[in-house]
């Protein structure tokens, strides 16, 4: 007696609902991953910019006592002679030899910086976050003065927030940080959209977050 072969049952095609769920699961996983990555990249920066946003908003009420320091030195005769060939009026950087001397004698990095040169003196501004400074060199006597003014760590962090005198690397860091924040916000918004069906208060709260600053701007900012 031979066994009867079981009838072949064709595999059931995926239902439209299963396909939708699979796509939703895929995008949910991608959103969670990018939300997590952007949060990890921007977390410390967001805390820094949030705190300095408060300190900037209350800058007038936060005391900042300027601390001024001065250093003096005198150019050697060969370097002073070197300046005789430097243009009488120019914005060119000082000669490399003079810049190296300033770095050693005055702890001032003036190489490559624009100068304000007159027949009497050379002036180089030394802007920095949270303060400022300058170097002057008397072209006749060789006497040099470096003055540095700092205004505390709050002013320093506030200038980092604004990107003021922070250099090229910080300039690009702010751009990268801003992109990470945008990704964090957009993926967060997409996650809200995916989960909003089970949370009816989602969109009213989002709308309130948009409405409040708009109303304040329209009614109280003139």
Does the global pTM surpass 0.95? Answer: no
CA distance between the termini of the chain: 98
pLDDT tens column, 87-116: 999 999 999 999 999 999 999 999 999 999
| pLDDT for residue 1 is more than 60 | no
The mean pLDDT value for 137-163 works out to 95
Q: At what angle do helices 152-162 and 16-57 cross, to 10 degrees?
A: 140
């Amino acid at each position: 007696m031979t066994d009867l072969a079981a009838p072949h049952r064709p595999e059931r095609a995926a239902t439209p609902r299963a396909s939708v769920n699979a796509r939703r699961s895929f995008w949910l996983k991608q959103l969670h991953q990018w939300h997590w990555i952007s949060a990890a990249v921007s977390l410390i920066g967001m805390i820094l910019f949030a705190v300095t946003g408060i300190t900037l908003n209350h800058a007038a009420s936060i005391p900042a006592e300027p601390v001024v320091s001065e250093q003096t030195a005198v150019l050697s005769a060969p370097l002073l002679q070197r300046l005789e060939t430097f243009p009488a009026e120019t914005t060119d950087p000082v000669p490399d030899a003079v810049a190296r001397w300033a770095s050693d004698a005055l702890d001032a990095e003036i190489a490559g910086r624009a100068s304000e040169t007159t027949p009497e003196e050379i002036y180089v501004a030394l802007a920095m976050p949270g303060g400022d400074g300058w170097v002057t060199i008397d072209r006749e006597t060789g006497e040099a003065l470096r003055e540095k003014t700092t205004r505390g760590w709050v002013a320093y962090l506030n200038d980092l927030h604004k990107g003021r005198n922070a250099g090229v690397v910080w300039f690009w860091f702010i751009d990268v940080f801003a992109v990470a924040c945008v990704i964090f916000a957009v993926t967060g918004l997409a996650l809200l959209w995916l989960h909003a069906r089970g949370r009816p208060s989602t969109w009213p709260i989002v709308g309130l977050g948009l409405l409040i600053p708009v109303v304040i701007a329209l009614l109280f900012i003139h």
